[in-house]
Amino acid sequence: MSGQIVTLPNREPTIRVAAMPSDANYSGDMFGGWIMGQVDIAGSIPALHRAKGRVVTVAVNSFVFKEPIFMGDIVSFYAEIIKVGTTSITVDVQVYAQRDPAKPVCVKVTEAVLTYVAIGEDRKPRVVPSVDK
């Protein structure tokens, strides 16, 4: 795979992490499950803020691994709410890797859409509050 060189979006990432050896397979690429977990964390952040409380992941609507993530990459996750339902919040997550500090390169590595449901203390779905004006 030879990805197109891109630049990071012109906004703060939801989360940014370094890809560490403990998260790599024997070839030095990050495990897909590690990436999926980080995407879920990133997606949950705007969802829980919008829901004003606890949310749970109910669906991974789409998940595309476009490029591998290598040990040592700095990985930036950009999450944005794309839909709010009665109890659900759908979030788009775009993931970029910055690699090779000697010759910096940035590639888009993953795209995902996840759906979260707001839940109450009883762990049952609850209505997502309306936006404060």
pLDDT tens figures, 10-40:
899 999 999 999 999 998 899 999 999 999 9
DSSP 8-state symbol, 48: H
> pTM of the prediction?
0.91
38-87 pLDDT tens trace: 999 999 999 999 999 999 999 999 999 999 999 999 999 999 999 999 99
Higher-pLDDT residue of 1, 66: 66
CB atoms within 10 A of CB 133: 3
Burial class (CB in 10 A: 0-12, 13-18, 19+), 123: exposed
